[in-house]
A and B are shown apart, each in its own frame.
Chain A
Amino acid sequence: KQEVTQIPAALSVPEGENLVLNCSFTDSAIYNLQWFRQDPGKGLTSLLLIQSSQREQTSGRLNASLDKSSGRSTLYIAASQPGDSATYLCAVRTFYNNDMRFGAGTRLTVKP
């Protein structure tokens, strides 16, 4: 069974700092990995999707990497802003399931 873990559970940084969020998964037979953002009481917004054949994806100040062999992904956020404050979730889809397995998320607070 695929288990997804996110560390840390919460992170607080000053505005302007670069930061890295971590996601690890137990089964390397993944189809893709997706990073989401969730604001309090809201649904999920897709940030980046990495296919199993890819090593990284970039969108603006966000960069996500994938290392299947070690079962890890990182989400790098450059020059953080207060508007980046949210919970960040990673989700993994394996080849033998159509659903996504989510981590519990990292709650990020960027202080002005």
Chain B
Amino acid sequence: DTGVSQNPRHKITKRGQNVTFRCDPISEHNRLYWYRQTLGQGPEFLTYFQNEAQLEKSRLLSDRFSAERPKGSFSTLEIQRTEQGDSAMYLCASSLKQSRTGGTGRFTDTQYFGPGTRLTVL
């Protein structure tokens, strides 16, 4: 396992269609994050899982968006009734929440990102 993978890498769809993206995290990582990035901007947080539990959702995640991580491994992000404003790069990241590092008692939790799925809504 060399890193976080995302599929598909590119998706072109027509407005109103549903799309689903998949993210496979680094195998031992228990945390998984979805971000959205538009041109010229930094990524914006969408949602976060710890194992199979979805613990946080951004207000950016409208009712048309749903994310799952059914067995605490891979995750899917579905967008229903796509709109042109949904066109963006969708990034997935994973991390391992550890109890200690180097004896400091601090969590590391470095996020490792996948290559992203670029969505274009026509």
Q: Which residues of A contact B93 (CB under 8 A)?
A: 44
Q: How far is the CA of A103 from the CA of B93 in the complex (A)?
A: 17
* Pair count A-B, CB < 8 A: 61
**Chain B, Cβ-Cβ closest to A32:** B109
Q: Are A101 and B113 in contact (CB under 8 A)?
A: no
A99 surroundings in chain B (CB, below 8 A): 33, 45, 48, 56, 58
B106 close to A53 (CB less than 8 A): yes
Chain B interface bracket (under 10, 10 to 19, 20 to 34, 35 or more): 20 to 34
- Tell me, yes or no, whether B104 is within 8 Å of chain A by CB: yes
Choose, from B12-20, B35-43, B63-71, B76-84, the stretch at the interface: B35-43
Q: Does A42 contact B (CB under 8 A)?
A: yes
* Inter-chain contact B118/A43, CB cutoff 8 Å: no
The majority secondary structure among interface residues of chain B is: loop
Q: Which of B106, B113, B115, B118 contacts A36 (CB 8 A)?
A: B113
* A contact patch SS: strand
Q: Which residues on the A side are within 8 Å of B116 (C-beta)? A: 42-43
User: Chain B nearest CB: distance from A108 CB in Å?
Assistant: 15
CB proximity to B under 8 Å, residues A27-86 = 31-32, 34, 36, 41-46, 49, 51, 53
Residues of A within 8 A of B40 (CB): 104
Contact present for B48 and A89 (CB under 8 Å)? no
Q: Which of A42, A45, A98 contacts B48 (CB 8 A)?
A: A98
Contact A45/B41 with A53-B104, A98-B55 known, Cβ cut-off 8 Å: no
Bound together, the chains give a CA A102 to CA B107 distance in angstroms of 20
Q: List residues of chain B with CB within 8 A of the CB of A102.
A: 42-44
Per-position contact with A for B86-118: 1 when CB-CB < 8 Å, else 0? 000001010000000000101111111111101
Question: What are the nearest 4 A-B pairs in CB distance?
Answer: A102-B42, A99-B45, A44-B113, A43-B115
Residues of B within 8 A of A (CB): 4, 6, 31, 33, 40-45, 48, 55-56, 58, 91, 93, 104, 106-116, 118
Chain A positions within 8 Å of B, measured between CB atoms, are 4, 31-32, 34, 36, 41-46, 49, 51, 53, 89, 91, 93, 97-105
